[in-house]
Structure 1
Amino acid sequence: MLSDPIVALATPPGRSALAVIRLSGVGAFAITRRCLRPFHPDRPRAAWRAQLRHPASGELIDEVLAACFPAPHSYTGHDLVEISTHGGLLVPAEAVAALVAAGARPARPGEFTRRAVLNGKLDLLQAEATADLIDAGSPAQRRRALQQLDRGLSARLAALRAELLELEALIAYEIDFPEEDEGPVSPARVTAAWRAVRERIAGLLATAPEGERLREGALLVIAGRPNAGKSSLFNALLGRERAIVTEVPGTTRDAIEAYAVIAGFPFRLVDTAGLRASDDRVEQIGIEVARQYLGAADLVLFCRDAGCEIADVESERFVAACQAPVVEVVTKVDLAARSPDGLGVSVVTGAGLEALRARLAEAAFGRLLALGDVEPVVTRARHRAALERALEEVDAFYVAREQQVDAVAAATHLRAAVGALDDLIGAVTPEDVLDRVFASFCVGK
């Protein structure tokens, strides 16, 4: 059912000062009345102190704070109650069990937010932004999630939808009054309207590579010859000792991956084996792993040792074969006799590290930095697929016009483009799409 009362712990289980339990649905207040003493539905959105007791035995479970939110002015759009209990494992679990005994059922992952979408409290993009905000591990992810939660992308798509409908209305006028060939619906006017819509859709799509990278974290692969300072730089960017560092070339045999926030942006750092020709079987395996990471990288950080005068031909060959952008850095500049050409760093003195962090953020997220936090960005493959479908239909409309296809048939492409945007916003969304979107949500959300 879409309105039956559901209950779940809204905070992570474990030792803590407080835990929050959320109960919502038709009949939520009646269920709460069986467990809370006193219960004050006449005091909406105001907290009160109460005893939470088991509905059958009357046993006291905890002294709690509670607040009720009558429909439709609640997160879900249904009657909703939030109960703050003491933390830990036992008390919150027994509180949830008492509410289940009173008539609620355990909520499924994301079910509260799913109901908010179905009841028009949030659109699907805002629901996804809620999950992104919870999962945010960097300031850039947090800012982007908040922008989307504030309907940044939704508003842009709504404007696009309105433009498509206006263009469709022009075609409808053309169909109804074909004798007015050069009247208010001139071919130039239709073309201008089409071009404006197309440019806006294409502009949003252009943000998708970096937007999706922002959600997942940019895969930054650190590469170079053995003993080029890769592991030391990996640790410095990570902010802790994760990779083993020695003066022995070839110390790193396997790839080491770790999450790091660099200049406010999320990165998945990978320290790889030194790239060189080797007869050592184990080292060969490590080099092959490095090659695979280079093939999948979003960005490569290529390290050159400031103290090594020998050309790094072998490692350059490996890096040149990858498709990702490459940022070159000269390491160990504190040991160099002269200043290096290009960007140099020292993990011993810290020289150049801030400049390197800024360079990496620019290389991986330059478009997002240029756009700032105000412009909407496409952050999911689902968004990209829907916009690509809309763009295909808009282009198909133009081709049909150029080929003098019947106006009614040409206009069907505009209607299909509107449908793609509706799917994206969640105006008309199949159950299986909702299932996929909310499957990764936590239970209490």
Structure 2
Amino acid sequence: MLSDPIVALATPPGRSAVAVIRLSGRGAFDVAGRCLRPFHPDRPRAALRARLVHPGTDEHVDDVVAAPFPAPRSYTGEDVVEISTHGGLLVPGEAVAALVAAGARPAQPGEFTRRALLHGKLDLLQAEATADLIDAGAPAQRRRALRQLDRGLSSRLEALRGELLELEALIAYDIDFPEEDEGPVSPARVTAAWRAVRERIAALLATAPEGERLREGALLVIAGPPNAGKSSLFNALLGQERAIVTEVPGTTRDAIEASTVIAGFPFRLVDTAGLRDSDDRVEQIGIEVARRYVDAADLILFCEDHAAGSGEQYARRRDAFLANLSAPVVRVTTKQDLATRPPPDGLPVSVVTGVGLDALRARLAETAFGRLLALGDVEPVVTRARHRTALERALGEVEAFSAARERGVDAAATATHLRAAVGALDDLIGVVTPDDVLDRLFASFCVGK
């Protein structure tokens, strides 16, 4: 475990009132003492004013506020010093350079949080939640990351792990008392315990599709015939004019993608070319791109204007298109400011008057994240493919345990499946984490975290 002193700027570089520098590791107080006049390591967690000087030249770099955090009561579990300097590009950079000259090493991305994990200050799930909180662009992402940082998911997994160990203990009686026909533990009790832990693992695993969608943003593809108001609706949901809007059918030739927040949830909006038969080569390419986006969508917003659908042939083609979609579909009827009566199908909306837009936003959030809305912010959610894979392994081993018992496999052999399920949960929590997993995780962190 590396413990040499490391230093990095913990705030974004650039013009600001204050910048924060973090220094951590064995000997961090010695490094700080060479640069700060005065430095008070004997007054933990007290923020005191000091002069920061270059240790080689004694040149005055800045007037700062420094706070020492002795190990183990610090973010990393090591001796930590947090130094607040004036902001900007020059002063924080020169302050970091002075600390490097005093014996610190520039930190690698995520190295502070990696040390916190290795010192037991947080588990792997909390480390991932730290990165998710920093990257959060929507309120729902922030709430979910805070819940995971508060060990919501970790606590649930530890409870599941405990249930698996209790089930394994029941099986141990069969191993210890093989001469008993029924054993000291009834098969019904074992089955009930197995069913309970299986249902809990399956319930947690069921949150994975929407949980991963929450972290990445739901891919919302706006599709429909030409001149159906798709680009206008795209701009309205985005809150800015990104797509060109004209009355000429076929104006949109290529897909336009942009990120936005709808009802507190993250979405990746895609405006696509109008779907129709066309002899125009460029438009044909755009339509093919639109179809590929439709196939990959998490949710499809199908638009048709208030005057559409009068022809029987159009209705057949529309219904055939909708029937072949694999993703959920929200249908809207656009340009309601020009309509004289309510539409027979689809939510009525108008980007001119704003009619129906709030209802549409609520419908989109409900369709894409309905399970998460039902769970609220209390229940834990699986948000990464790594989580899902580990839970799938655990569930598979639990089901293999039951199948082995039904085939009459001896107790010692069936118990290996429970031990493997516990191992899958241990991998998920990060009880023993390979270096390559940590390398992938912390490579996405900012340097000062």
The alignment's TM-score, normalised by the length of structure 1, stands at: 0.98
Offset of residue 126 of structure 1: 0.5
Contact 1:275–1:314 (CA<8 Å) still a contact in 2? no
**Counterpart of 1:437?**
441
**Counterpart of 2:338?**
335
SS at match of 1:279: coil
Offset of residue 190 of structure 1: 0.8
Q: Relative to structure 1, is the Cα distance of residues 143 and 134 closer, same or farther in structure 2, using a 3 angstrom cutoff?
A: same
Alignment partner of 1:321 out of 321, 324, 341: 324
Residues 13-71 of structure 1, C-alpha deviation per residue, up to 9 Å, x if partnerless? 11111111101001100100000111011111110111111111111111111111100
Offset of residue 316 of structure 1: 5.0
Name the amino acid aligned to 1:328: R
Offset of residue 314 of structure 1: 4.5
**Counterpart of 2:299?**
299
Contact 2:51–2:60 (CA<8 Å) still a contact in 1? yes
Q: Determine the C-alpha separation between the residues in 2 that align with 1:316 and 1:9.
A: 57
Q: Determine the C-alpha separation between the residues in 1 that align with 2:281 and 2:317.
A: 18
Name the amino acid aligned to 1:431: D
SS at match of 1:23: strand
Alignment of 1:135-284 (within 5 A): 135-182=135-182, 184-284=184-284
Q: Determine the C-alpha separation between the residues in 2 that align with 1:113 and 1:24.
A: 11
Offset of residue 321 of structure 1: 3.0
Residues 231-283 of structure 1, C-alpha deviation per residue, up to 9 Å, x if partnerless? 00001111111111111111111100011100110000000001000000110
**Counterpart of 1:55?**
55
Residues 279-302 of structure 1, C-alpha deviation per residue, up to 9 Å, x if partnerless? 001100110110110011000000
Q: Determine the C-alpha separation between the residues in 2 that align with 1:13 and 1:286.
A: 41
Name the amino acid aligned to 2:54: H
Contact 2:177–2:183 (CA<8 Å) still a contact in 1? no
Contact 2:174–2:183 (CA<8 Å) still a contact in 1? no
Name the amino acid aligned to 2:243: A
Contact 2:6–2:23 (CA<8 Å) still a contact in 1? yes
Name the amino acid aligned to 2:353: T
Q: Determine the C-alpha separation between the residues in 1 that align with 2:364 and 2:7.
A: 45
- Asked whether 1:368 is paired with 2:372, we answer yes
Q: Determine the C-alpha separation between the residues in 1 that align with 2:333 and 2:184.
A: 64
Q: Determine the C-alpha separation between the residues in 1 that align with 2:78 and 2:329.
A: 52
Offset of residue 172 of structure 1: 1.1
**Counterpart of 2:410?**
406
Contact 1:224–1:275 (CA<8 Å) still a contact in 2? yes
Offset of residue 2 of structure 1: 1.6
Name the amino acid aligned to 2:279: D
Instruction: In structure 1, list runs of 5 or more residues that go unmatched.
Output: none
**Counterpart of 2:357?**
353
Q: Determine the C-alpha separation between the residues in 2 that align with 1:318 and 1:111.
A: 51
Residues 114-148 of structure 1, C-alpha deviation per residue, up to 9 Å, x if partnerless? 11111110000011001101100001000100110
**Counterpart of 1:71?**
71
Q: Determine the C-alpha separation between the residues in 1 that align with 2:14 and 2:32.
A: 24
Contact 1:294–1:319 (CA<8 Å) still a contact in 2? no
Q: Relative to structure 1, is the Cα distance of residues 184 and 406 closer, same or farther in structure 2, using a 3 angstrom cutoff?
A: closer
**Counterpart of 1:384?**
388
Offset of residue 307 of structure 1: 2.2
Offset of residue 180 of structure 1: 4.0
Residues 57-109 of structure 1, C-alpha deviation per residue, up to 9 Å, x if partnerless? 11111111111110000000000011111111111111111111111111111
Aligned residues: 445
Alignment partner of 2:432 out of 420, 428, 431: 428
Contact 1:307–1:335 (CA<8 Å) still a contact in 2? no
**Counterpart of 1:6?**
6
Offset of residue 4 of structure 1: 1.0
Offset of residue 178 of structure 1: 2.6
Offset of residue 177 of structure 1: 1.9
After superposing the two structures, state which structure 1 stretch, 89-98 or 204-213, moved more.
Answer: 89-98
Q: Determine the C-alpha separation between the residues in 1 that align with 2:74 and 2:106.
A: 19
SS at match of 2:348: coil
Name the amino acid aligned to 1:56: G
Q: Determine the C-alpha separation between the residues in 1 that align with 2:282 and 2:364.
A: 31
Offset of residue 183 of structure 1: 5.2
SS at match of 1:73: coil
SS at match of 2:153: helix
Q: Which consecutive segments of 4 or more residues in structure 1 shift more than 4 A?
A: 312-319
SS at match of 2:144: helix
After superposing the two structures, state which structure 1 stretch, 204-213 or 312-321, moved more.
Answer: 312-321
